[in-house]
Amino acid sequence: MTKESKIYIAGHRGMVGSAIWRALEKSGYNNLLGKNSKDLDLRNQEAVNSFFEQENPEIVIDAAARVGGILANNDNPYTFLMQNLQIQNNLIDAAVNSEVQKFVFLGSSCIYPKMAPQPLKEEYLLTGPLEPTNEWYAIAKIAGVKACEAIQKQYGKKFISLMPTNLYGFHDNFDLETSHVLPAMIRKFHEAKLNNNAPVKLWGSGTPKREFLFVDDLADAVKFSLENDLKENLYNIGTGKDISILELAETIQEIVGHQGRIVWDSDKPDGTPRKLLDVSRMKEAGWESSVGLTMGIKNTYNWFREHQTEYRKVKI
């Protein structure tokens, strides 16, 4: 791999893909390739195969996915399952049948069983039932992980899977119907602040604990995986530290400057009680996160304020 290697980033306009693009460009990689959904429908196998035949990328990073929070997953189970399977299967199959030297598959920590021991180790995959509120997305991502593992086993190609914890950052999705918890809180507290510090209503009890990773840290991990020979098939990507949803809310409230009350809607689901990744495998390989949660939230909130005319329209 050189700075001139042709690197295709699927999903390059989303939060994750754009962060990876910035990280690689900043490091001097000058042959980056991206296609938006209007020019290339990744759900269309024929279109994806034609694209690979025409462009012949050497490296592929799969940052494309149909994503969303608890509400979106609950309301659209078939869509989340099928569209994610279509996207990743088309990319993986086209890559394995071409001259792609390395493939990086990005998933999510939701692939692990709901009640698995904490922190979550890579070997806990497929050892128990999934969290019902996002099992459709998780099943698709598990299939991608196993497909990459099978390719390594059968063909000896470097197809690796990186499973990040909960992500947030620049170009996040702030749509309250489809967003994840952290960007949703940023928007809720910001709008409540503008509305005379009105009370903010949040889902659940606030007791579950979650781990959050600034998206630029994930991008750095992806770059590390391209530049180094990772021995395993699956790696967790996170900070190794978690925080309760209540503490997260209070942190965001302070950063935003909201002075009102927080009201917890205990009739709404909490999701998995705790989800903390064991990141020792990636740390032993030589990489660890560097952006603290408070700084990451401040950066994200500043980006949100600068792009308020766009966030209502953005679909990740």
Report how many domains make up the chain.
1
Does the global pTM surpass 0.95? Answer: no
**CA–CA separation, 159 and 145 (whole Å):** 9
Report yes or no on 316 lying in a domain: no
Angle between helices 77-96 and 45-55 (to 10 degrees): 30
Report whether 171 belongs to an annotated binding site: no
Report yes or no on 1 lying in a domain: no
Report yes or no on 94 lying in a domain: yes
**CA–CA separation, 303 and 311 (whole Å):** 10
Tokens of 1: 């791999």
Report whether 240 belongs to an annotated binding site: no
Report yes or no on 67 lying in a domain: yes
Whether residue 238 contacts residue 289, with contact meaning beta carbons closer than 8 Å, is answered with yes
Q: Running DSSP on this structure, what letter comes out for residue 15?
A: H
Instruction: Tell me the per-residue pLDDT of 249-277, one tens digit each, with 9 for 90 and over.
Output: 999 999 999 999 999 998 887 877 888 99
Report yes or no on 219 lying in a domain: yes
Report yes or no on 255 lying in a domain: yes
User: What is the CATH classification number for the domain harbouring 226?
Assistant: 3.40.50.720
Which whole number is the average pLDDT over 124-152? 95
Which pLDDT belongs to residue 76? 86
Report whether 141 belongs to an annotated binding site: yes
At residue 173, does pLDDT exceed 70? yes
Report yes or no on 2 lying in a domain: no
Determine the structural domain holding residue 107 and report its residue range: 7-311
Active site residues: 137
Q: E strands of 3-92, at which residues?
A: 7-10, 32-33, 59-62
Number of other CB atoms surrounding residue 234 within 10 Å? 20
Tokens of 38: 């209007």
Which whole number is the average pLDDT over 72-86? 90
Report yes or no on 154 lying in a domain: yes
Q: Running DSSP on this structure, what letter comes out for residue 121?
A: P
At residue 62, does pLDDT exceed 50? yes
At residue 30, does pLDDT exceed 50? yes
Whether residue 10 contacts residue 64, with contact meaning beta carbons closer than 8 Å, is answered with yes
Tokens of 130: 């999934």
Q: Running DSSP on this structure, what letter comes out for residue 127?
A: S
